[in-house]
Amino acid sequence: MAITRASIENIPIHLVTSIPSIETYNNIVNKKYYSTKLEKRYKEASLPKIEIINLHSEILKKESWIANKTINEVNKFLEKGEQVLFFLNRRGYAPFVICKKCGYKFQCPNCSVNLNYHKNLNKLLCHYCGFKSSLSRNCKDNIKCDLSFCGPGVERIFAELKKIYPNKKIEIFSSDTLEKNELANELLKKVEKSKIDILIGTQLLSKGFHFPKLNCIVVVDGDFSSHGYDLRSAEKNVQLYHQLSGRAGREGNFSTIFFQTYTPEDEILINISKNNPNLFLQKELLLRKEKKLPPFYRLISLIISGKNEALIMKFAMSIKLKIPQIKEVNVLGPVLAPISKLRKKYRCRILIRYPKDLFIQKYLSQFLNKIKITSGIKLEVDVDPINFS
Ligand SMILES: [Zn+2]
Ligand SMILES: [Zn+2]
């Protein structure tokens, strides 16, 4: 939007970022954009050292997510009176709950996702539509279900850290705790005045904040293998963790970011750990070219949604068959969205890929205008889609 507006009004535009998108990087390479770099951090601080902690090399205690090796490293910073941040991009206590007796899994009735357990609220919560429910449920034997809480969220990491460090001051930073502005400000002041020893935070914490005493970050779950559906997942992760590492060592002190992982060989993790965004951008750009992805090709996403899964797939198939065949234009799909049902509606997607010097929008919109849309079905068109979830 900003670029388009600047172009219409004929005014210069500055894009400011720590790591540009691949599209923007390509514009720099092609000399369409001019780039200026801040080569040094504030106070000439160096970026944190990155260390990978292989979780296969020790057996974690039951219901525990922090390795002994991590604790030993963290202690070194705490002993110096410095702050430590545990990063986990998952709100609540546990990402899903099942019954050990009957195998029942608590799921959202409106979305095809598991419900998250929030201990502070003592409720199950859908992070997509906001659905809430209680935990009580009768099992097949008419006695209450025997619940098992699976995986950690920030509240659970808080509980584990409280056990390890009963005398340290520990706080959670997530949208649940930072919803009220005054509360957020109070928390931030506490951090600045060193009244907090350990912070536990979600993505919310990766941006902008200046914590002078924070020199150690632990990424609790450094596994990135599950995001294959999004062509930008590597880029988004490299950006996020670069931002995050920028929270540490801001006053020029020695700082480290530890990645706990079961997949130390994962390519995204290796890209992050090299801490060389330029190298990543170069490699990723080549990969995009090889795989015929943006910015070398363009994409148009047709998103079909409705309350009946079979009906939307049938409708999508019928559209696909009618799309006029044009040389060098690929029509991919339809495939169900990774979260196939959201707020009671199923979604699927057709992806149209074409060389960027071909102008098919007009052609396509003429075709789409002629299509009769079955009632109860919605068709959305997303040109140059950013979001694939
Ligand atoms: Zn939901
Ligand atoms: Zn049960």
Q: How far is the CA of 115 from the centre of ligand 2 (A)?
A: 16
Q: Which ligand is nearest to the CA of 108?
A: 1
Q: How far is the CA of 343 from the centre of ligand 2 (A)?
A: 26
Most confident range, picked from 17-31, 205-219, 227-241: 17-31
Q: How far is the CA of 142 from the centre of ligand 2 (A)?
A: 9
- Please determine, looking at this structure, whether the domain spanning 45-92+151-288 carries the CATH number 1.10.3720.10: no
172 touches 204 (CB < 8 A): no
- Which residue blocks in the chain are alpha helix, DSSP H? 2-9, 22-29, 68-79, 154-164, 181-192, 233-245, 267-273, 277-290, 309-322, 361-370
Token pair, residue 202, equals 């979600």
Ligand 2 centroid – CA 83 distance (Å): 42
Mean pLDDT on 232-236:
87
Return the ligand number nearest the Cα of 100: 2
Strand (E) or helix (H) holding 121: none
pLDDT at residue 226 tops 90:
no
Instruction: For 73-124, write each residue's pLDDT tens digit.
Output: 999 999 999 999 999 999 999 999 999 999 999 999 999 999 999 999 999 9
The least confident of 32-41, 97-106, 206-215 is: 206-215
Task: Using the CB atoms, write b or e for 180-204: b if 16+ within 10 Å.
Answer: eeeeeeebbeebeeeebbbbbbbbb
Distance 385 CA to ligand 1 centre (A): 23
Q: Which ligand is closest to the CA of 144, given by its number?
A: 2
Residue with tokens 């019954």: 99
Rg for the chain, CA atoms, rounded: 24
Q: In whole angstroms, what separates CA 178 from the centre of its chain?
A: 19
Expressed in angstroms and rounded, the spacing between residue 105 Cα and the centre of ligand 2 is: 9
Q: Tell me the ligand closest to 105's alpha carbon.
A: 2
Looking at all shown ligands, the one closest to residue 135's CA atom is 2
Separation CA 138–CA 365 (nearest Å): 53
Classify domain 297-383 by CATH architecture.
2-Layer Sandwich (3.30)
Distances (CA, A) of 310 to 113, 303, 345, 347, 356: 19, 15, 12, 11, 33
Give the distance (Å) from ligand 1 centre to CA of residue 122. 17
**Residue 256, SS3?**
strand
Amino acid found at 236: K
Q: What is the arithmetic mean of pLDDT over 151-178?
A: 93
CA of 109 to the centre of ligand 2 (A): 18
Find out whether 208 and 201 touch, Cβ atoms under 8 Å: no
Q: How far is the CA of 145 from the centre of ligand 1 (A)?
A: 22
Interval between CA 98 and ligand 2 midpoint (Å): 8
Q: DSSP state, 146?
A: -
Ligand 2 centroid to 120 CA: how many Å?
23
Q: Measured in angstroms, how far is the CA atom of residue 144 from the centroid of ligand 2?
A: 7
113 CA distance to ligand 1 middle (Å)? 7
Tokens coding 266: 């994962």
Q: How many angstroms separate the alpha carbon of residue 106 from the centre of ligand 1?
A: 11
Average pLDDT over the chain, rounded to an integer: 91
Q: In the chain, what are the domain boundaries?
A: 45-92+151-288, 297-383
List, in order, residues 6 or more apart from 256 with CB less than 8 Å away.
48, 49, 50, 51, 73, 215, 216, 217, 248
Q: Is there a contact between 329 and 353 (Cβ–Cβ < 8 Å)?
A: yes
Structure-derived torsion over alpha carbons of residues 84, 90, 92, 98, reported in degrees to the nearest 10:
-130
Neighbouring residues of 372: CB distance < 8 A, sequence distance ≥ 6: none
170 φ, ψ to 5°? -125, 135
Ligand number with the minimum distance to the CA of 133: 1
What pLDDT does 245 receive? 87
Please give the single-letter amino acid code of residue 146: D
pLDDT of residue 174: 85
Q: What is the DSSP letter of 94?
A: B
Q: Closest-lying ligand to the alpha carbon of 345?
A: 1
Identify the nearest ligand to the CA of 143 by its number. 2
Q: Residue 221 pLDDT more than 80?
A: yes
DSSP 287-329: HHHHTT-TTTEEEEEEEEEES-HHHHHHHHHHHHHHSPP-TT-
Distance 66 CA to ligand 1 centre (A): 30
- Distance in Å, CA 341 to ligand 1 centroid: 9
The structure tokens 């540009």 sit at: 20
- Please, which pLDDT band fits residue 228 given cuts at 50, 70 and 90? low
Q: How confident is the model at residue 316 (pLDDT cuts 50, 70, 90)?
A: very high
**What is residue 138's DSSP assignment?**
B
User: How far is Cα 65 from Cα 45, in angstroms, rounded to an integer?
Assistant: 31
Q: What is the mean pLDDT of residues 166-176?
A: 91
**Which of 93-102, 169-178, 294-303 is least confident?**
169-178
Amino acid letter for position 298: R
